[in-house]
Amino acid sequence: RKEVEQDPGPFNVPEGATVAFNCTYSNSASQSFFWYRQDCRKEPKLLMSVYSSGNEDGRFTAQLNRASQYISLLIRDSKLSDSATYLCVAGGSSASKIIFGSGTRLSIRP
């Protein structure tokens, strides 16, 4: 079983739609969770951290369910520029490794 699992997609949705991604992690000791965004042929960049209480950044909302060991990302009012691959990440303490999921591809159509 992979340490971090994601639906690879692709998700193809119209502009303005709401889209949600889920991710599960296997290591119950994981303490830090993130969503990264990766554009085609570019390096991953941090989109947002995921906190236990859930957090929101503009059109993006991230949630963590420790009991079920899953993380979610919700994108509202999607824009063409949101087209990218979204990588779910689980990590431990400051000295622990950061594990990436395989990514979910999102394509927003006009």
Partner 1 sequence: EAGVAQSPRYKIIEKRQSVAFWCNPISGHATLYWYQQILGQGPKLLIQFQNNGVVDDSQLPKDRFSAERLKGVDSTLKIQPAKLEDSAVYLCASSPRSAGNTEAFFGQGTRLTVV
**Would you call 62 helix, strand, or coil by DSSP?**
strand
To partner 1, the closest distance from the beta carbon of 8 in angstroms equals: 8
To partner 1, the closest distance from the beta carbon of 87 in angstroms equals: 6
83 Cβ contact list (under 8 Å, min separation 6): 106, 107, 108
Q: Please give the residue ranges that form the binding site for partner 1 (CB under 8 A).
A: 4, 6, 31-32, 34, 42-46, 49, 87, 91-103
Which lies closer to partner 1 via its Cβ, residue 10 or residue 16? Answer: 10
Q: What is the DSSP letter of 53?
A: T
67 Cβ contact list (under 8 Å, min separation 6): none
To partner 1, the closest distance from the beta carbon of 22 in angstroms equals: 15
